[in-house]
Amino acid sequence: MRIKDIVFNRAARIGTFLMMAAVLLGHAPAAHAAAGNNGLKIYEVAGAGGLAGATYRQDTIILFNPTQATISCTACAIQTHSGTSTTSAWTVYKLPSFAIPAGGYYMIAGSSQALSSDGSVAPIPYDYQLQTIEDNNNVPSTQNILSSTVGVVALTNTQKALTAGSSPVCGSGSQLQDMVGYGSNIATNAATSPTPASCYAGSGEAYYDGSSAYGRQLGVTRKNKCVDTFDNANDYVNAPVTYFNASSPVTVCSTGAQLNATISATPNNPFVNGEVTLTAAVTGASSNSGLTVFLDFNTPYYGGSSTLQMYDDGTHGDAVPGDGTYTLATTIPASVVGGFTYPANVTASDMMGESFTGSTPLAVTTLSAANRPSTGNNSIRIIAWYGAGDLSKSEYGRDTVILFNPSQSPITMNNWSLQNGGATGSFSAVTYLLPVVTIPPGGFYAIAGSGPGYISSAGCVSNQCNLNYPYDYQLKTLEGTATSTDNDLSSTETSIALVNNQEPLGTTCPTSSANLVDLIGIGAVDGSAPVTCYEGSGYAPYLPATLNGAATNINGVVYAYATIRNNKCGNTSDNANDFSLGYIDFANSSTTPEPCPLGTQLAVSATTTTPSTPGILDPFTITTQVTPASTPQSTSLNVIADLSNLGLSTTSQLYDDGTHGDAVAGDHTYTLATAATSGSVGLVPGLIVTATDTQGNVAHGSVPLTLAPGVFTMTSPTNSGTVTAGGVLTFPITITGQHGYGGILNITCAGTPNANSLGVPISTQCVTTPPELTLNYDGASTVSLAIATGTTKAASVLPRSLPLGLIGIFSIGLLAVGIWRRKHLTSTVLLGLVMLLTFNLTACGTSAGLGNTAAAPGTYTYTVTATDSVLPTITNSISFTVTVQ
């Protein structure tokens, strides 16, 4: 009969098997226990006894009875195999006749104490020392019979050797009761190599690190002595050696569900002194009351000094109290040697004496400058802030805060709060309570300031308004009321604190508070509304409603930008350096986590423009320094800038190849020589630099640039002329924009007053045509200046003209009567002639109608001034000299 028929099809042949067991094992009664618990089991194997570095003196095998009745063994044997061959012969070591009660043990030694002085003597006596059949039952005294690295141990109910075979089980026969193949597929130090087994039961060998000084302190032990799944990889754990003999108290297996736990670690590649969170999802406990779970950092890999309790009460990293998942957020001890993978064991025990020890591998990383996490990457942080939701002409319909976990472990916000300290950082009261939630490494959490029903068409005007993002949480006041009727975050200068409790931080800026998780001071980007509470050298920017003396207008949007962390994985604890204006890359708890890489983070820094205040159409050069990520190393860096507020592309390319103004190719200094084609005079917000790599890292920065208003010139072919008194001079004036000037100009003229020959004060007249001029960027246009050297004052001031005036008026009266009586064409013509005569005699005299009072001879000065209709500081003038003869 083949072994697989016994191991994997026992349920189908249970009757036959029990009949055989009754005969071969002393007619033991059938036991009712967990699947596979119908005979004696190998509980523990430790094969490094007496070797250098071992903590135990003798090779040890412990048998256990998981059934509900005593099992007698009259001619059983322990058989061993190389573990690296499927065809080698089995070596048989006979056992004496013995009986093990339900829940009892039997401890077997592989050598005598006299064989070696290394390792401690077992605290309790062995029940038997192995001897081979081939040695005529002589007790071997020259060596430990078990392998310390890789091997197979089988329990048979006869002393007949198993039949070697080519399958992984590598041995068959009806006499087989249990089998353990052990070995290691990894090395735990530089001096050893993996020693995998090729002979085992189930999917793989029981992990056994016996090749190193660490492993010689351990053995392979059943995770739960009452459970046998016929899979060595699943049933055993590498753990410190324990001792149970025939005199040890019995621990009878229950007949119901068995204690079990699923063990995991986040991250599974922590660094020395780095954070790691272990979880154990426990099932099958007889009662949760009295259940204890411990992380076994008492193994030699972790210093062998302590066991650490795990919790299911919402503390120590636990997310949900009482859900059966036990958690512990801790750190890898400093004594651990990095660069290797070690088992991390967790043991759960209930009040009935049942226990389970599971394991998860930890690939511990050596801590170095290359893979050290960025400074400050140890807790949740704010990566996006927008406080102008649904205000008139806003970009987003709801106030928004997005949190991110940059650490290598899950972090639970347990009774945290979000507090508003205003411009000075006075956190005298808790503003908003936050729910209990766990954010995984690289995870997001989106918070809204109001309900979706508050979005109005009069407020949010961008294409982002009505997307109704799936926020994770809507802020509530301390009274528990959802802020559904308004947006409660500040749209102006403020300071915001994320706090790990629900107590006010205090009335002074709390940069050093132990309860402070993250602090952001947010002030106007143009300096018009600063804050005094922030981290580092300065505050993070927000876009105010008024910019450069006028209403902010970014493509029709006033509150166009949010405050965005430049790299969600980067933190220099300097708000001015860590944040820029930008658009929210919305993410919530359902977004696929984006764990931060170790080491140096991708960064954009030292962004400058030369010159810093160009005019529109003036050439300038953008330069930015990009720091590549280190672990893994950034490849295929790409750097672009959104220069749409300068009339350029949203994806303007920057270069590090020696072109487009770049000085040195390949030095990670990216450059673009360009010129604005449009824009508003003053500080230009929203010039966003973005660097990306093929590893998925993203970093932002801002281009600091102020558009100079530009200037214009005023020129004329000549600035002087001579004219006879009462005459008119004209001058063409060309107005030309420079440094990108364009706008509407109001044009005025002023001249020198004088008196005529009779001593009557008059004003010479200068007129520009047109009086208002629109100039395109750096455009040119011409106006005409006319200077009259006479006056249009009425001639009635001269007595000599009075009689003629009266005659003219009298003629008009007579003619009007005639027309009333007879409407003839000749009369109409006559009326026109009389009117011309009258006006000629009573109005402005001669010399092109400029009057009969000419300017006195002399030299006069006239000044033409052009002034921008919006910015009166943009002005220029030109003067003309006129000589009157």
Residue 605 scores a pLDDT above 60: yes
Instruction: Kindly give the pairing relationship between strand 176-183 and strand 151-156.
Output: antiparallel
pLDDT number for residue 533: 96
- 466, with CB counted inside 10 A (0-12, 13-18, 19+), is exposed
Asked if 206 contacts 200 with a C-beta cutoff of 8 angstroms, the reply is yes
CA 407 to CA 382: how far, in whole Å?
A: 13
Q: Which amino acid is at 81?
A: H
Three-state SS letters, 201-218: CCCCCEECCCCCCCHHHE
pLDDT number for residue 311: 94
pLDDT number for residue 811: 46
Residue 60 scores a pLDDT above 90: yes
Residue 137 scores a pLDDT above 60: no
246-275 mean pLDDT: 88
CA 586 to CA 391: how far, in whole Å?
A: 20
CA 630 to CA 632: how far, in whole Å?
A: 5
CA 676 to CA 698: how far, in whole Å?
A: 26
446-464 mean pLDDT: 74
Q: Could you give the count of Cα atoms lying within 13 Å of 872 in the half-sphere of its Cβ?
A: 0
Task: Read off the pLDDT band of 170 (50, 70, 90).
Answer: confident
- The dihedral built from the CA positions of residue 297, 299, 305 and 309, taken in this order, carries a sign that is positive
Of 478 and 647, the one with more pLDDT: 647
pLDDT number for residue 167: 75
Residue 706 scores a pLDDT above 70: yes
CA 452 to CA 486: how far, in whole Å?
A: 10
Q: Could you give the count of Cα atoms lying within 13 Å of 842 in the half-sphere of its Cβ?
A: 14
Least confident of 141-150, 610-619, 680-689, 719-728: 141-150
Residue 742 scores a pLDDT above 60: yes
Q: Which amino acid is at 648?
A: L
- Report the CATH fold assignment for 3-240: Immunoglobulin-like (2.60.40)
Residue 828 scores a pLDDT above 50: no
348-352 mean pLDDT: 87
pLDDT number for residue 479: 54
- Range picked from 192-201, 395-404, 804-813, 844-853 for highest mean pLDDT: 395-404
Least confident of 210-219, 264-273, 309-318, 344-353: 210-219
The b-or-e profile of 562-580 (16+ CB within 10 A means b, else e) is bbbbbbbbbbbeebbbbbb
CA 198 to CA 165: how far, in whole Å?
A: 12
810-834 mean pLDDT: 42
Residue 644 scores a pLDDT above 80: yes
Least confident of 8-22, 680-694, 846-860: 8-22
Express as a percent the part of the chain with pLDDT over 90.
Answer: 52
pLDDT tens by residue, 205-245: 999 887 666 768 889 999 999 999 999 999 999 998 999 99
- The alpha carbon of residue 424 and the mean position of all alpha carbons in its chain are separated, in whole angstroms, by 27
pLDDT number for residue 834: 35
Task: Read off the pLDDT band of 335 (50, 70, 90).
Answer: confident
Q: Which two tokens stand for residue 381?
A: 């942080």
CA 885 to CA 881: how far, in whole Å?
A: 13
Residue 714 scores a pLDDT above 90: yes
CA 831 to CA 817: how far, in whole Å?
A: 11
Fill in the DSSP letter of residue 643. Answer: -
Residue 150 scores a pLDDT above 70: yes
Residue 808 scores a pLDDT above 50: no
Express as a percent the part of the chain with pLDDT over 70.
Answer: 80
Of 272 and 785, the one with more pLDDT: 785
Closest C-alpha to 439, from 460, 422, 414: 414
479-502 mean pLDDT: 77
Task: Read off the pLDDT band of 19 (50, 70, 90).
Answer: very low
pLDDT number for residue 482: 55
Q: Which amino acid is at 182?
A: Y
Task: Read off the pLDDT band of 544 (50, 70, 90).
Answer: very high
865-880 mean pLDDT: 94
Least confident of 193-202, 464-473, 517-526, 759-768: 759-768
pLDDT number for residue 131: 77
Asked if 473 contacts 435 with a C-beta cutoff of 8 angstroms, the reply is yes
- Range picked from 373-382, 390-399, 828-837 for highest mean pLDDT: 390-399
Closest C-alpha to 107, from 281, 243, 288, 286: 243
Closest C-alpha to 201, from 161, 231, 171: 231
What integer best gives the mean pLDDT of the chain? 83
pLDDT tens by residue, 98-121: 999 999 999 999 888 887 888 889
Closest C-alpha to 159, from 230, 73, 98, 46: 73
For residue 432, list its beta bridge partners: 418
- Range picked from 213-222, 282-291, 361-370, 725-734 for highest mean pLDDT: 725-734
Of 387 and 306, the one with more pLDDT: 387
CA 467 to CA 469: how far, in whole Å?
A: 6
pLDDT number for residue 804: 43
Angle at 91 between CA 90 and CA 97, to 5 degrees: 115
Task: Read off the pLDDT band of 817 (50, 70, 90).
Answer: very low
CA 145 to CA 49: how far, in whole Å?
A: 10
pLDDT number for residue 508: 92
Which phi and psi angles does 217 have, rounded to 5°? -105, 5
Angle at 12 between CA 8 and CA 17, to 5 degrees: 85
pLDDT number for residue 483: 52
DSSP secondary structure string, 229-254? Answer: -S-HHHHEEEEE-----TTSPP-PPP
Edge-to-edge strand ranges of the sheet holding 105-109: 128-129, 105-109, 60-64, 41-46, 218-222, 236-240
Of 453 and 620, the one with more pLDDT: 620
- Given CATH 2.60.40.10, say whether it is the number of domain 260-364: yes
Q: Which amino acid is at 775?
A: L
CB atoms within 10 A of CB 348: 25
pLDDT number for residue 487: 60
Q: Which amino acid is at 209?
A: D
- Range picked from 6-15, 305-314, 840-849 for highest mean pLDDT: 305-314
Asked if 773 contacts 781 with a C-beta cutoff of 8 angstroms, the reply is yes
* CATH code given to domain 711-793+851-884: 2.60.40.10
Residue 540 scores a pLDDT above 80: yes
Cis amide linkage into residue 611, ω under 30° from 0: yes
Residues 6+ apart with CB under 8 A from 847: 724, 726, 727, 790, 854
Closest C-alpha to 766, from 669, 663, 860: 860
178-205 mean pLDDT: 87
CA 582 to CA 580: how far, in whole Å?
A: 6
Asked if 655 contacts 674 with a C-beta cutoff of 8 angstroms, the reply is no
CA 108 to CA 85: how far, in whole Å?
A: 25
Fill in the DSSP letter of residue 695. Answer: T
Least confident of 211-215, 541-545, 601-605: 211-215
664-682 mean pLDDT: 95
CA 552 to CA 394: how far, in whole Å?
A: 11
Asked if 216 contacts 210 with a C-beta cutoff of 8 angstroms, the reply is yes
Helix (H, G, I), strand (E, B) or coil at 24: helix
pLDDT number for residue 14: 37
Residue 561 scores a pLDDT above 70: yes
Task: Read off the pLDDT band of 368 (50, 70, 90).
Answer: low
